[in-house]
Amino acid sequence: MRSDRIKKGLQQAPARSMLRAVGVGDEDFQRPFVGVVNTFTDGMPCNYHLRQLALDVKAGLREAGAFPFEFGAPAISDGISMGTPGMRASLISREVIADSVELVAQGYLYDGMVVLSACDKTIPGGAMGVIRSGVPGVVLYGGTIAPGEWRGRKLTIVSVFEAVGQRAAGKITDEELLEIERHAIPGPGACGGQYTANTMAMALEALGLSPIGYNAIPAVHPEKPKATREAGHILARAIERNWKPQDFLTRRSFLNAIAAVAATGGSTNAVLHLLAIAREVGVELSLDDFDQVSRKTPVIADLLPWGTYTAWELYEAGGTALVFQKLLEAGLLYGEERTLTGNTLAEEVERAYRESPGQQVVFPVEQALKPQGGLVVLKGNLAPRGAVLKLAGTERTYFEGPARVFDSEEAAMEKVLAKEIRPGDVVVIRYVGPKGAPGMPEMLSVTSALVGEGLGPEVALLTDGRFSGGTRGLMIGHIAPEAFVGGPIALLEDGDRVRIDVAKRLLEVLLPEEELRRRQERWQPRPPAFRHGLFARYAALVEQADQGAVLKDPEA
Cα distances from 344 to residues 132, 139, 331, 507, in angstroms, run: 23, 18, 15, 40
For the chain, report the end-to-end CA distance as a whole number of angstroms: 31
CA 426 to CA 231: how far, in whole Å?
47
Q: In the Cβ-directed half-sphere of 414, how many Cα atoms lie within 13 Å?
A: 7
Say if CB 290 and CB 272 are below 8 A apart: no
Q: Is the dihedral of CA 488, 491, 493, 497 positive or negative?
A: negative
CA 502 to CA 398: how far, in whole Å?
6
DSSP symbol at 552:
P
Residue in 90, 267, 448, 468 annotated catalytic: 468
Strands 67-72 and 33-38: parallel
3-state secondary structure of 33: strand
CA angle 496, 498, 502 (to 5 degrees): 180
CA 112 to CA 137: how far, in whole Å?
5
AA letter at 159 = S
CA 530 to CA 210: how far, in whole Å?
37
CA 365 to CA 300: how far, in whole Å?
6
Say if CB 375 and CB 478 are below 8 A apart: no
CA 377 to CA 379: how far, in whole Å?
7
Say if CB 403 and CB 494 are below 8 A apart: yes
Say if CB 175 and CB 484 are below 8 A apart: no
Nearest alpha-carbon partner for 324 in 418, 203, 504, 480:
203
CA 211 to CA 194: how far, in whole Å?
19
Known active-site residue 468: yes
Which are the catalytic amino acids? 468
